[in-house]
Amino acid sequence: MSQRDFPSDRAVRPRWLRTLTASALAVSLVVAASLPAAAAATPSAAWSGTEAQRAQLQQLARKLVEAGAPGVIVRVDDGRGRPVEIAEQAAWTRRDHLLKAGDEFRMGSNTKTMVATLVLQLVAEGKLALTDPVEKWLPGRVPNGKAITLRMLLNHTGGLSDYTEDAAIRPAMLGRDRRRWTSAKLLAVGVKHDPLFAPGTKWSYSNTGYAAIGAVLERVTGTGLAELVRDRIARPLNLKHTYYATDATWRGSHAHGYELDAAHMPPGVPAEFRHFAGTRHHGHVDVSDNDPGWGGAAGAVVSTTQDWSRFSTALMSGKLLPAAQVAQMRTTVPVDARQPDGPGYGLGIQTGATPCGTFWGHDGGMPGYLTTNLTDRAGSRTATVLISTEFWAEFEADPKIAKAAQALQTAVTCTMFGKPVPTAAHAG
Contact in structure between 333 and 157 (CB atoms under 8 Å): yes
pLDDT band at 144 (very low <50, low <70, confident <90, very high): very high
Query: Cα(41)–Cα(391) distance, rounded to whole angstroms?
Result: 32
- 6 belongs to a structural domain: no
Query: Cα(1)–Cα(45) distance, rounded to whole angstroms?
Result: 32
- 39 belongs to a structural domain: yes
What is the per-residue pLDDT for 426?
A: 55
CA max distance for the chain: 64
Structure letter (DSSP) for residue 422: P
pLDDT band at 423 (very low <50, low <70, confident <90, very high): low
Segment 340-363, tens digit of pLDDT: 889 999 999 999 999 999 999 999
pLDDT average, residue stretch 358-375: 97
pLDDT beyond 50 at 236: yes
- 315 belongs to a structural domain: yes
pLDDT beyond 80 at 28: no
Q: Any idea what the Cα angle at residue 319 is, between residues 314 and 321, rounded to 5°? A: 110
Q: Any idea what the Cα angle at residue 365 is, between residues 120 and 61, rounded to 5°? A: 115
What is the per-residue pLDDT for 38?
A: 38
pLDDT band at 15 (very low <50, low <70, confident <90, very high): very low
What is the per-residue pLDDT for 9?
A: 31
What is the per-residue pLDDT for 356?
A: 94
pLDDT beyond 70 at 36: no
pLDDT average, residue stretch 127-150: 98
- 1 belongs to a structural domain: no
Q: Indicate if 312 belongs to the active site.
A: no
Domain range holding 324? 12-336+346-427
How many domains does the chain contain in total? 1
pLDDT average, residue stretch 412-421: 91
pLDDT beyond 60 at 169: yes
pLDDT band at 253 (very low <50, low <70, confident <90, very high): very high
Give me the phi and psi of 73, to 5 degrees please: -120, 135
Q: Domain containing 151 — which CATH number?
A: 3.40.710.10
Give whole-number Cα distances, 313 to 72, 89, 177, 358, 379, in Å. 23, 28, 37, 16, 4
- 179 belongs to a structural domain: yes
pLDDT beyond 60 at 276: yes
pLDDT average, residue stretch 271-280: 94
- 387 belongs to a structural domain: yes
pLDDT average, residue stretch 134-148: 97
Quote the percentage of the chain above a pLDDT of 90: 79
Identify the active-site residue in 28, 109, 204, 303: 109
- 365 belongs to a structural domain: yes
